[in-house]
A and B are shown apart, each in its own frame.
Chain A
Amino acid sequence: MLCCGLAASLLLFTCATAAARGPRYYRFGVLPLQSPTMLAGMFLPLTDALQHALHRPVEFVTAPNFASFMRRVRRHEYDIIYLNPLLYTRAHRWGYHVIVKVAGEPFTGILVVRRGSPIHALVPGRLPAGLRIGFPDPNAYAATIMTRQFMQARGIHVNRDMKVKYFGSQDSALMAVYYGMVDIAGTWPPSLRSMPRNVRHSLRVIAQTPPQPQMPIAVRDSMPAPEVRRIRRLLTHLTATADGREVLHHLGFSRGFVAARNSEYRGVKP
């Protein structure tokens, strides 16, 4: 047992020293849209692929919540980030720039109720009083900000007419509506799709916001241009290979990534 421990320690030691001497780790920060393990399940194949392409280790990390994620972005603790368009506009100010965005599917927010709920459409004045609504995080772009803007535009004053609750992640918000802790949840399509089948089937979408630019992947401005090119190339070519499609399958982005420019996000506003 001790021998095993010793061997493992030595192994770890060599790894650690190799890491210390070898190429620096790239940290891939993912906005905590879902539970960390779920995000890890989605993004680890991608970081693995990046690792191979960059010939350097790439670490997947997330954060306890949006605020701490953004603090770390601001401190440049991440080299590569995946976040929502709104937060990207902030990250851009702090020294990151978009290289690709999720392809295909328009970036929309949705409002979800239980399948048996009496609510079928968002008609102001005809909604029952005292409705409870759940969001992942105040800064969740599609799930919170876009859906709020959408309801605002229809004359529904969320803060006045409903009881608002934040659950930290998309999954939590979805589980909250599933368990009846709230009547409506704001989320976005990929999160709904990633739910277990039975949960997915007992939920119903009552509204969808107009699309916005898709979720971007951005890199540090200080990253060397060849590295940036290599990352972009890898990400935009994932659909071309079986391995790449496998990566995309885990991510749930079946159509892969397309190159994006910062200008596309100029219209994104809170």
Chain B
Amino acid sequence: MSAVELRSLPEHVDSARPPKPSLFRTLRFRLMLSVALVHAVLMGTFVWSEVGKQSQAIRADLYSRAHSLITLMAVASTNALLAEDLGSLAEVTQRVKRQPDVMEGAIIDVRGDVLASTDARQVGHRLRLPDAALARQGHGRLRLEEQIRVAGQRVGTVLLEMSTRHLQSELAATRDEGLLFILLALVVGSVAAWVLSLFITRNLHILMEAARRIGSGDLGVRVALPARDEVGLLGGAFNAMAESLQRISAQVQNEHEKRTDAERLACVGELSASIAHEIRNPLSAVINSVKLLDRSNLPAGDRAQAIAILNTESLRLQRILNDFLDFARIRESRLQEGDICGLVEEVAGLIRQHPQAAAVKVEVECDAHHSRARHDPDQLRQVVWNLMLNAIQAIPDRGELRVRVERAAGTVRVSITDNGSGIPDHLLDKIMRPFVTGRKQGTGLGLSIAQRILMQHGTVLSIVSHVNVGTEVSFDLEAT
């Protein structure tokens, strides 16, 4: 159970710290982009239409000026044209020439002869209109022509050519200004959008950070969001969630402590009862024997028996006490790398000399090159001793005890097999508990001690047993 908890915790921490999304996928960026885009499109459309309007106005201004000027020219030159008053006509064209943007102005009689022109060389000649006009069209010139009519008849023509260069540059300036405005709008819009998106998503970031901290176990975290919008509501809900999470967690903790306290008390009670139970019989035997010895008329035979009982029972008391002390005093394991084979051989050698092992064949199978594992040698020696001892005690007269040390994936497995009496089913579930024994002489602490030591090595005992066939007890160590 605890192993599951240990493994699942880091996973939890991982999920609380999600990989940071790339800038382009953040809500903040998208918000900024959309606001900036909408702003730019609106401003662009607006500015562009304004530029269009202005351009139209500039154009219309030039056209209307040109029209007014040519009309004026026609009116001003009518009399002089009819009278072929070249001086007056020249004055008209000279005045026209002084007007802004005027490139050329000419007054032509009905035959097509130039009577006056801003270009003095043309005067007196037939107008060289065609090629000149064709060549000039569309080269920054606006060419207008007005007929001079008297009494419904054409008596001459006025030509006016205005430069559109000024117009063009004005248009270009207007357009550039417009573009600049759009650019400015884009920049201002982006900044505004950035600030706006920061403002809107700031609270989301606060929430995200808080959620991350809750994920990593800090249940006390709360968010203070002044906003009254959906994010504000979310913040409230988040706080409520954190509140109940903290409360539930506290409850669970509390209950867990209560349960372990109860379990511990029960354990202590059980242990005390077991000790009392174990000690009661030998102690009353000792007390009775001492009472018997106190009698002066005790026959010698009874006396010797009483002394023998005293001996046995006090030895038994001592053994119980020693085993219990062994159980109670198990120290922290000091794990180190070392050879398991040697250790097992050593214990097997001691077991062979044990009086109960006289008729038992003890065998060790071990590959000395593949039996290095992390362990505490003193403690492991005790584990192997206890298990081998149980095995020879389970063999009534003759039998076989086999110890195998073998290398598996990342582990070194130690298994002790005997062909003894086996463990009855009703015992199999409880024999790991202290003071549970199936033997008259047993204290029921051997397997408990072995199990506790192995737990400190990060492993447990596993027992497979069949009554009247035999038993296999094994455990795995971390190989090195």
Contacts and interface: CB of A to CB of B under 8 A. Distances in A.
Contacts of A187: none
A10 B109 CA distance: 16
Interface stretch (B78-86, B194-202, B281-289): B78-86
B157 A61 contact: no
B83 A19 contact: no
B150 A44 contact: yes
Interface in B120-146: 126-127, 129-130, 133-134, 137-138, 142-145
A207 interface: no
Contact of B110 (A36, A59, A63): A59
A113 to B, nearest CB: 28
Interface string B352-370: 0000000000000000000
Given A12-B157, A44-B150, A5 B145 contact: yes
B65 to A, nearest CB: 13
A9 B143 contact: yes
Interface string B151-171: 111010100000000000000
B88 A64 contact: yes
Contacts, number: 98
Interface residues of B, number: 34
Classify chain A's interface size: 20 to 34
B338 interface: no
B155 A44 contact: yes
B82 A12 contact: no
Contacts of B150: 37, 40-41, 44
B153 A48 contact: yes
Given A48-B153, A59-B110, A2 B82 contact: no
Contacts of A16: 111-112, 126-127, 129
Nearest to B146: A8
Interface string A191-210: 00000000000000000000
B324 interface: no
Given A5-B145, A12-B145, A62-B83, A25 B111 contact: yes
Contacts of B142: 1-2, 5
Contacts of A134: none
Contacts of B153: 40, 44, 48
A20 interface: yes
B327 interface: no
B133 A45 contact: no
Interface string A1-24: 110011011101101100110000
Contact of B112 (A15, A45, A72): A15
A201 to B, nearest CB: 25
A44 B78 contact: no
A83 to B, nearest CB: 14
B82 A60 contact: yes
A64 B111 contact: no
A31 to B, nearest CB: 11
Contacts of B111: 16, 19, 25, 57, 59
A62 B82 contact: yes
B63 interface: yes
Contact of B109 (A1, A20, A59, A72): A59
A62 B82 CA distance: 6
B78 A37 contact: yes
Nearest to A27: B111
A181 interface: no
A19 B84 contact: no
Given A15-B112, A19-B112, A37-B150, A2 B138 contact: yes
A176 to B, nearest CB: 18
A47 to B, nearest CB: 8
Nearest to A58: B110
Given A63-B84, A64-B83, A13 B155 contact: no
Nearest to B82: A36
Given A12-B157, A61-B84, A41 B151 contact: yes
A35 interface: yes
A35 B85 CA distance: 12
A234 interface: no
A139 to B, nearest CB: 16
A36 B145 contact: no
A39 interface: yes
Interface in A25-68: 25, 32, 35-37, 39-41, 44-45, 48, 57, 59-64
Contacts of A32: 83
Contacts of B152: 44
Nearest to B132: A9
B79 A2 contact: no
A69 B257 CA distance: 135
18 contacts: A1-B63, A2-B143, A5-B137, A6-B134, A9-B134, A12-B108, A12-B157, A32-B83, A36-B78, A36-B79, A40-B153, A40-B155, A44-B151, A48-B153, A57-B110, A61-B83, A61-B109, A63-B83
Given A2-B137, A40-B155, A61-B84, 6 more contacts: A5-B143, A6-B143, A19-B112, A60-B155, A63-B83, A64-B85
Interface of B: 63, 78-85, 87-88, 108-112, 126-127, 129-130, 133-134, 137-138, 142-145, 150-153, 155, 157
